[in-house]
Amino acid sequence: MSVAGPITFAGRVAIVTGAGGGLGRAYALELARRGARLVVNDLRGAAAVVDEIRAGGGEALASPHSVSTEAGGQAIVEDALGAFGSVDVLINNAGIVRDRSLANLSAAELEAVLDVHLRGSLHVTQPAFRAMKQRGYGRLLFVTSASGLFGSFGQANYAAAKMGLVGLAMTAAIEGARYGIQSNAIAPLARTPMTDGQFGGAIEVFDPEFVVPMALYLVSESCCLTHEIFSAGGGRFARVVVGVTRGWVSGDAPTLEDVHEHLDEIRAESDLVLPASLAEEIELARSIV
């Protein structure tokens, strides 16, 4: 598949949360370079990124509101609407870590991470979704993580929040389809200030710039994909799938022993199916039974 010329965001308005540094900054700078008008959201660093964008001839404003409250999320979207008149792109990138082993994780550490990653994304997405719905166009990108998709030692709170974002992204894709709103998730592998000292230094070789092409493609007008998850890092790009096997069909009264006996059939991946919704999973089960 080829595109006619460079992919551009000319005339589009984009919000990037957590854009004061790291990946968020990289997304914002490239969006601006390709013509988007930017709302750069972060509690710290947003003004410096806006200065960079303006120095390069772009249009941007800093939005220092916290995504962790409903009022903050609404204010971020209102900043975009007030300054530029629309919201076309939203990248839910804001995040924090409060790593702790599962046995020692506190309620406060759980809530802090959920507030920024999961509730924070919802707080910004809801008003943005409403604005996109009115215009009949929108691109949503939720930044998940391999920690959520596959698990990671000492990151139960972070992993739970990041997997929650997958459900939010997929639901937004289903509900937004009739309004021209596409929604996807990306799991970046990149060094950022948030990864300092983690993974034994193994992630240090992953340049954030290598994630940008996948992320920005997914929020571009050229992209026709929705309801999908992608991994990007170190020059490798891959699709992540959540699927279901064909499984084994029991008799009228299956027992625990039956399940044990047929585990190989239940787990067989040869005929993996990728339902596009809960409704499709129900229909699949009904058709097989």
Q: Are 157 and 104 in contact (CB under 8 A)?
A: no
Does the annotation mark 158 as catalytic?
Answer: yes
* Alpha carbons within 13 A on the beta-carbon side of 203: 18
Q: Is 139 helix (H, G, I), strand (E, B) or coil?
A: strand
Calculate Rg over the CA atoms of the chain. 20
Task: Give the Å distances, CA to CA, from 169 to 118, 121, 248.
Answer: 11, 10, 30
- H or E segment to which residue 38 belongs: strand 37-41
Strands 89-92 and 138-143: parallel
**Phi, psi of 150, deg, nearest 5:** -125, -10
- Dihedrals φ, ψ of 22, to 5°? 60, -140
Run of H or E including 83: helix 70-84
Question: Could you give the count of Cα atoms lying within 13 Å of 236 in the half-sphere of its Cβ?
Answer: 12
> C-alpha distances in angstroms, 257 versus 214, 261, 262?
46, 6, 9
C-beta of residue 266 within 8 angstroms of C-beta of residue 245: yes
Strands 89-92 and 60-63: unpaired
> Angle at the Cα of 250 (from 246 to 256), degrees rounded to 5?
110
Catalytic residue among 27, 137, 158, 217: 158
- Residues marked active site are found at 158
